[in-house]
Structure 1
Amino acid sequence: MNPLYWLEPWEPSPTVVIVMLITAVLFVRGKRHARVTFARQLSFWFGLGALYVALHTRLDYFFEHEFFMHRAQHLVLHHLGPFFIALAYPGAALRAGIPFAWRQRFVRPALAARPVRLALDVVMHPVVAVTLFVGLIYFWLFSPIHFIAMLDWRLYRVMNWSMVIDGLLFWWLVLDARPAPPARLSPGKRVLVVIAAIPPQIVLGAFIFFTPRELYPVYSICGRAFTWLSPLRDQQIGGLLLWIPGSMMSVIGALIALRHWMRLSARGRLPQPRRAHTAGADAGKRQTLRT
């Protein structure tokens, strides 16, 4: 069989093609002006390619007809793809890829608009970020909602895109290598945020794995891609994918955030405690008065 056969979309989506094409063009244009190492370029293209494969290839048939394949798809959309894109720190390159006149006329006014700033402040708040990251997994795996989402192609696409967007926002927040400011969270908070997302994923994955009944009958009703795999075994594999690889991605994210914290501390780029600064100023004033 021709390998290109698997790259053909099961259900063509102009939205996926347009979004991926625009993102790729902006990055190619921008990396000429922004300094992007080869490792970061490789990370970006791997993440973008992973998202495309999970959204717009013939594998989508298996994602729709087998629960463990669906969990593998969301592992890529919510964890793997966004993780590697955020790890590439492509913001400067993507921004440089936009024509200067467009940035001045459209991008900057849009980002400076009060509704946009308020929305970003809300979704980037650490508590909200963790709640959304874990809550979306719980929401789409709630059996009645999951049943409808797998039958309605419009809701199915909303589900997939919500996972991509939320994954990008979360990993962009957690893997930011800069001190705060300009980063939204301090390095310590970034470590805590990603660690807080681990236990709920373990709990849900373990629940799906150990449940002795079929939680997602939609796959049996619509027909399974792998008839040799029993519904419970399929469900158990899906639970393990959420339980182990999903949690391990968060552990890796926590280790990278911790590495950034240690690097910034070693370079003296972390803000000094206010009390220490005040005490030093007071001591200086006393010394001046004595002299």
Structure 2
Amino acid sequence: MAAGAGLTLGGWPLAALAVPFCGPPPLPGEAGWNTHPLLLAGLALGALLLLALARRFPDPRGTSATWPLLGWLVLALALASPICSLSVALFSLRVTQHLLVVLAAAPLLAMAVMRLRLVARSGIGLPAAFFAGLLWLWHAPGPYAATFEADGIAYWLMHGSLAFSATWFWAALLRHGPGRPLAAVVGALATAIQMGVLGALLTFAPRALYAVHAPDVTLPWGFTPLEDQQLGGLLMWVPGGLLFVGVLAAGLALAMRQAAPAGR
């Protein structure tokens, strides 16, 4: 049976709808890799750009490109692996895809761009606010639904803007955090709170908010649309919060060490 065959989405036959960039909603066992030529070309060009940045801003420890390239690999897996296909069926898998981009790939990619002028001049507050605004924007029902259109424009705007803003934010923490640990603590705390609030709203919403994840799409995976949304909210709420708690602890410890000599 072909993925999506016989399914309906919002009361319309799925076959009559445009197919999203990641393909139609798969049934269990049918999710596959995304090998779209434009995606593969973009990933290859991005890897070359990271290598160029490593040469432009060499690390004296000789590890300039190692961690950023690992981050790019995580990003590639988020966009090209079966997670891409599964995210069409399940909101919780779309959230997983986003968490891989903003909490796993972005901190590693930030090591390649933390010396750029944009990061040096922005401080921590501006990238934190920019990231928060985009995260809430793309999880509003209207913009979220637009990412499932066949032209893929909104899909790439979503992932490109989230990856850019999260990398900018993490780069700001890496660059300014050691010298301004309290600012890093405030930035991390604000980010943890806004992600937690968004996750909680999704978890405790009384109804499913995303029509693209209709019952015919989620039930083959054992979830009602509301259960799928609740799981996605919990994923955003808990892992994101735990990571930023670690950043907060590191920032507070650094601030206390820097303040200790002055208090003696």
Please state which band the TM-score falls in when normalised by the shorter chain: 0.7 to 0.9
- Between structure 1 and structure 2, the one with the greater Rg is 1
User: Could you tell me whether the CA contact under 8 Å between 1:220 and 1:231 is conserved in 2?
Assistant: yes
| Among candidates 227, 238, 242, match of residue 233 of structure 1 | 227
- 1:63 alignment counterpart: 87
Distance 1:82 1:51 in 2: 8
The TM-score with structure 2 as length reference comes to 0.73
> 1:163-204 CA deviation, whole Å, 9 max, x = no partner?
110011001111237754xxxxx2221111111112221111
1:236–1:221 Cα change, 3 Å: closer
User: Could you tell me whether the CA contact under 8 Å between 1:129 and 1:170 is conserved in 2?
Assistant: yes
- 1:130 alignment counterpart: 128
Distance 1:37 1:22 in 2: 18
Distance 1:265 1:235 in 2: 44
- 1:78 alignment counterpart: 102
1:254–1:217 Cα change, 3 Å: same
- 2:49 alignment counterpart: 22
Distance 2:173 2:51 in 1: 23
Gaps of 5+ in 1: 1-5, 96-106, 112-116, 181-185, 273-291
- Matched residue of 2:214: which SS? helix
Distance 1:176 1:256 in 2: 14
- 1:173 alignment counterpart: 172
- 1:289 alignment counterpart: none
- 2:149 alignment counterpart: 151
| Among candidates 201, 212, 215, match of residue 209 of structure 2 | 215
| C-alpha displacement of 1:226 | 4.8
1:190–1:178 Cα change, 3 Å: closer
- Matched residue of 2:81: which SS? coil
- Matched residue of 1:244: which SS? helix
The TM-score with structure 1 as length reference comes to 0.67
**Equivalent position amino acid for 2:224 in 1:** S
Superposition pairs for residues 241-280 of structure 1, below 5 Å? Answer: 241-262=235-256
Q: Do structure 1's residue 163 and structure 2's residue 187 form an aligned pair?
A: no
- 2:36 alignment counterpart: 11
| C-alpha displacement of 1:66 | 1.2
- 2:78 alignment counterpart: 54
| Among candidates 177, 182, 193, match of residue 188 of structure 1 | 182
| C-alpha displacement of 1:144 | 1.3
| C-alpha displacement of 1:231 | 1.1
> 1:92-121 CA deviation, whole Å, 9 max, x = no partner?
9xx8xxxxxxxxxxx9xxx6xxxxx6x974
- 1:139 alignment counterpart: 137
| C-alpha displacement of 1:133 | 1.8
| C-alpha displacement of 1:78 | 1.4
User: Could you tell me whether the CA contact under 8 Å between 2:181 and 2:252 is conserved in 1?
Assistant: yes
1:189–1:157 Cα change, 3 Å: same
| C-alpha displacement of 1:129 | 2.3
User: Could you tell me whether the CA contact under 8 Å between 2:89 and 2:217 is conserved in 1?
Assistant: yes
1:202–1:131 Cα change, 3 Å: same
1:179–1:242 Cα change, 3 Å: closer
User: Could you tell me whether the CA contact under 8 Å between 2:185 and 2:251 is conserved in 1?
Assistant: yes
User: Could you tell me whether the CA contact under 8 Å between 2:215 and 2:224 is conserved in 1?
Assistant: no
User: Could you tell me whether the CA contact under 8 Å between 1:174 and 1:257 is conserved in 2?
Assistant: no
Distance 2:254 2:32 in 1: 37
1:225–1:264 Cα change, 3 Å: farther
More helix per residue: 1
| C-alpha displacement of 1:80 | 1.5
Work out the number of aligned pairs and report it.
229
Gaps of 5+ in 2: 1-30
